[in-house]
A and B are shown apart, each in its own frame.
Chain A
Amino acid sequence: MMAPGLLVLFVFAYLPMFGIIIAFKDYRAYQGVLGSRWVGLKNFYYLFQTDDARRIVVNTLTMNALFIVSVLVVALGIALLLKEVQGSNRWLTRFYQSTLFFPYLFSYVIINYFVFALLNTSNGLVNHTLHSIGVQAVHWYESPQDWPVILTLVTVWKNGGFWSIVYLAGMIAINPEYYEAASLDGATAWQKIWHITLPLLRPLIIINILLSIGRIFYADFGLFYQVTRNAPELYPTTDVIDTYVYRTLTTIGDVGMASAAGTFQAVVGFFLVIFSNWLVRRTEPQSAIF
């Protein structure tokens, strides 16, 4: 019964795990993974000699940190708004939920089209709007300093609705008697949010933050590769570990360097997951994943 599933896991998850030995070898395709020569930590040595290493680690961490905070704030905000109007007008509330959720359905290839229609230098909506109010056109795809904000907006747009549904479900599960009692005591809507909704949602919020921290060393390849159109001008802020590994492997063809970066990511990522789970265990023991 379990054989097909275990086989797929063995081939596509466990064999690649053993494949991290490639990072310690001078890989030659004709010699295969096992036949290639061991070179110790040489690949890592070369990787950390480059300026790229520092850049991709810093970019991965700062961009993910930006995403975690912004998605959390926006999703909670939307969920609170949806909760306020819940039960007032069936049609409208469904409209809000669907509209806010549906960017989640699109691949980053499609999102690249959306962003391109907004930002391209000569025809984009943003530059034309700037032009009409007398501001000079911006060459967005050559301005790396703007991309932390642009990519954060894209991420919030894509994922905000999804997480707001998760938080809304958490809010709806709160016993309505708390709110009734608060109303009797004359609490305002804000007081209810601060003293009932958010404190009772705390476990859910903490778990989600810690799970995201566990994944903070992994970037969303599609976001950084497609939405930036892989423009080299933007690498100073948008080159992350995942795009670096891909580019080094397929365009440059440097297996050693790519596998060193990938293995570094896998090992640090592993310890981050363990660490964040340890934190979950300490704060909300019932919610620890293992």
Chain B
Amino acid sequence: MQSSSLAAPLQVAPLLRRQRYRRPRAGNLAVHACLLLLSFLFLVPLILLISASLSSEADISTYGFSLVPRTIDFAAYQYILNDPSQILSAYAVTITVTLAGTFAGVLIMALLAYPLSRTDFSLRRPLSFVVFFTLLFSGGLVPLYILVTHYLQIQDTLFALILPYLVMPWYVLLLRAYFAQLPRELIDAAKVDGAGEWRIFFQIVVPLSRPALATVALFCALAYWNDWYLALLFINNPALVPLQYLLYQISTNIAILQTSSQAFGVQIPALSAQMAIAVLAIGPITLAFLAVQKHFVSGITLGGVKE
């Protein structure tokens, strides 16, 4: 375990292959039963949410939320999609922030981590400590809040939603560890051939480090996609509200949701509409997860065991 986390995923693959298919034994069946039950329990909240979004408002107020809708009713979705401009705007903000933040963040963190991985870089130790120390000590909310709103004055801009998460020290250290185990000979050979540091970084280091960069990108994207905290602190302008913060506002007050059907005097399906908008919000991330789940698992073993 102590060796290096990076070795763990490499060791996992051959071991998985080595174990041949075994016929299920009685003990194994019990274990499968446990895991099936546990998986079902873990899914209950999600099933409940989807079911509630498809239930009619009348059923919910009579019978409460249930795991299977009594009658399937799309009224909540119709109500929301009647005028989706607010949700689309929130989606646009979230997508912009996630793409810009992830791209800029990974690039900046890699550029910071690479020199720190080079043993011939004289400031390697002090500058590594500069990165590391931010993991140990932080000023907390009050100074950050005053800095952003009073001195930088970037509240109510997209910068407030991107900049604070741009450099996450833990990932810088992860990338540094990954870069450090790349073969030195490649870099030296490129130098002999006259390549500059920038060229070495972009043409040798980056292509060789795809797994680590992809992992960091995945976790950065998740952090930006799920963020509501920075919006809670710094965003007042409704046009800049990201998806998660819109959901938060709706959960405290359904009236935030403006749709044109209010004009027709249609009764708001408040409970099911809340659940429907939550379903619309988690749809993309669930699909994205199913597409890249393998990378998530290997990413956790990359970062989780030890830097």
Does B228 lie at the interface of the complex (its beta carbon under 8 Å from any beta carbon of A)?
yes
Q: How far is the CB of B120 from chain A (nearest CB, A)?
A: 14
Q: How many residues on A have C-beta within 8 angstroms of the other chain's C-beta atoms?
A: 103
Does B264 lie at the interface of the complex (its beta carbon under 8 Å from any beta carbon of A)?
no
| Contact A128 B63, CB 8 Å, known A99-B42, A100-B38, A118-B45 | yes
Which residue of B has the minimal Cβ distance to A4?
A: B108
Does B210 lie at the interface of the complex (its beta carbon under 8 Å from any beta carbon of A)?
no
Does B274 lie at the interface of the complex (its beta carbon under 8 Å from any beta carbon of A)?
yes
Chain A, interface SS category: helix
| Contact A166 B163, CB 8 Å, known A9-B131, A122-B64, A249-B141 | no
Does A197 lie at the interface of the complex (its beta carbon under 8 Å from any beta carbon of B)?
no
Say yes or no: A161 contacts B42, CB within 8 Å.
yes
Say yes or no: B45 contacts A84, CB within 8 Å.
no
- Chain A hits for B43, CB < 8 A: 99
Bitwise, B5-41 to A at CB < 8 A (1) or not (0) is 0001101100110111110100110011011101100
A-B contact count (CB 8 A): 287
Does A245 lie at the interface of the complex (its beta carbon under 8 Å from any beta carbon of B)?
yes
- Chain B hits for A82, CB < 8 A: 35
Q: How far is the CB of B194 from chain A (nearest CB, A)?
A: 18
Say yes or no: A81 contacts B35, CB within 8 Å.
yes
Which residue of B has the minimal Cβ distance to A200?
A: B1
Q: Which of A89, A117, A289 contacts B48 (CB 8 A)?
A: A117
Q: Which of B19, B38, B42, B65 contacts A123 (CB 8 A)?
A: B65
Cα distance, A14 to B136, chains bound together (Å): 12
Binding site for B on A (CB under 8 A): 1-2, 4-6, 8-9, 11-20, 22-23, 27, 29, 32-33, 78, 81-82, 84-89, 92, 95-103, 105-118, 122-125, 127-128, 157, 161-162, 165-166, 169-170, 172-173, 176, 189, 200-201, 203-204, 207, 221-222, 226, 229, 242, 245-246, 249-250, 255, 258-259, 262-263, 265-266, 269-270, 273-274, 284, 286-287, 289-290
Q: Name 29 interchain pairs, CB-CB below 8 A, sorted by A.
A: A2-B112, A2-B116, A5-B111, A9-B134, A12-B147, A13-B169, A16-B138, A16-B140, A18-B143, A81-B38, A84-B27, A86-B16, A86-B19, A87-B22, A88-B24, A107-B226, A108-B228, A114-B48, A116-B251, A117-B45, A117-B49, A117-B275, A123-B61, A125-B48, A128-B65, A172-B12, A173-B8, A173-B12, A262-B141
Sample of 4 further A-B pairs with CB below 8 A, known A5-B109, A5-B172, A162-B300: A1-B201, A14-B134, A89-B24, A229-B251
